[in-house]
Amino acid sequence: MTISNDRKKLLNDIFSASFKSPNGMDALRFRADNEQFISELNQLEHLGYIERKNDRYFIKPLALAQLAKESPDVRSILHICSLVFALLRDIYKDNPGQKITVADISRNTNLPEDDVRVGLRIIIQTPILGSYINDFSRESAYVAPSESILKYKSFEDILQEIQEWGKCRDSQYRESKKLTRISPKYPLKQEISLSTSKTNWEAIENEYDVNKRSFGKKINFVSDSHKREIIFRDIEHSFELAFLGLSKPAVILAGGVIEELLRLYLKHNNISPPSNSFDNYIKTCEQNGLLKSGVSRLSDSVRHFRNLVHLSTEKTKKYTISKATAKGAVSSIFTIVNDF
């Protein structure tokens, strides 16, 4: 997977300004200074290279994997991640469930504590931790690896998996851009794009009896305006893709919307799941009575379908995602939100 020079420069700038800071970089300032590349920045967010939280930009592991070849600083950080990963894996094998502090990681790896903190800010974005304290500046800060760490032999294995997903998302995005002439059942736009559309929401209301205004009220716990825009946008895109027969990307996108909504809903209710995973979001919501059991099973089915569409597991026609399934995945979004 290759990225353009413009995107690479944007990623390098964000990396240089944010990788040593736990607070990331000012996204509003950066976007204003790079107004000609706002569309590129939106796509980098959409494809998982960067993350925007509270109008701060944070670099993602996928971006580091792309920049490593040309950046000694990136390679240095990934080396730190590899050392910390190896220690965490050994700790889990010796004593599953054990917590280890930043200071202990520093002593066992001979890395400065500041370097450990930088590495951990990348590692917490991967699926290998069971719990951790997010503020690594605290003396009591710790991480606890989960059983999923055994799936990987090295940190490089994690990066390879992340890059596979990146390739999948990139190819689906490129494919959707090629579809400029469509004749769907509902009056969708004549071109798939990354913009929102009143027409699409009218079609959604016709199909699911949900309008944008009422849906927006249901998710009023999502206070970040940018996150709300992304959620509305991704719902539109999953709806479009489902009715175009592009079932695989539709299910992936719908599952991503559900996952993020559950995460934000738990945060709104001051409830912390055991770890940041779709499984734990679902279980924690159900255990705390936030979702009806039938609805939680519905979101659970979306998670299973997301697993099936991973490139490495899609080996036979047995796992083909039908158009009906894709439409059902989109419907799941509205069914679940109705419980909020």
Q: Is 86 in the same domain as 61? A: no
Residue 24 lies in a domain: yes
Confidence at residue 175, expressed as pLDDT on a 0 to 100 scale: 56
In this structure, how many other beta carbons lie within 10 angstroms of the beta carbon of residue 335? Answer: 18
Which of 14, 45, 67 lies at the terminal end of a domain, its last residue?
Answer: 67
What's the average pLDDT block by block, 10 residues per block, for the chain (340 residues)?
82 86 87 93 86 88 91 94 96 93 95 93 87 83 90 91 75 53 43 52 81 87 81 87 80 85 86 78 80 61 56 50 78 82
Q: Which of these, 146, 148, 141, 100, lies nearest to 117 by C-alpha position?
A: 141
| CATH code for the domain of 59 | 1.10.10.10
Enclosing domain of residue 314: 179-337
CA distance 308 to 293: 23
Confidence at residue 242, expressed as pLDDT on a 0 to 100 scale: 82
Q: Is 320 in the same domain as 230? A: yes
Q: Is 130 in the same domain as 211? A: no
Confidence at residue 220, expressed as pLDDT on a 0 to 100 scale: 87
Residue 46 lies in a domain: yes
Q: Is 76 in the same domain as 129? A: yes
Residues 118/77, Cβ–Cβ less than 8 Å: yes
Confidence at residue 183, expressed as pLDDT on a 0 to 100 scale: 42
Confidence at residue 41, expressed as pLDDT on a 0 to 100 scale: 92
Confidence at residue 28, expressed as pLDDT on a 0 to 100 scale: 94
| Alpha-carbon distance values, 3 to 33, 34, 42 (Å) | 21, 18, 14
Confidence at residue 297, expressed as pLDDT on a 0 to 100 scale: 58
Which of 153, 168, 197 lies at the terminal end of a domain, its last residue?
Answer: 153
Confidence at residue 177, expressed as pLDDT on a 0 to 100 scale: 54
Q: Which two tokens stand for residue 25?
A: 């970089």
Confidence at residue 113, expressed as pLDDT on a 0 to 100 scale: 93
Confidence at residue 89, expressed as pLDDT on a 0 to 100 scale: 96
Q: Is 135 in the same domain as 270? A: no
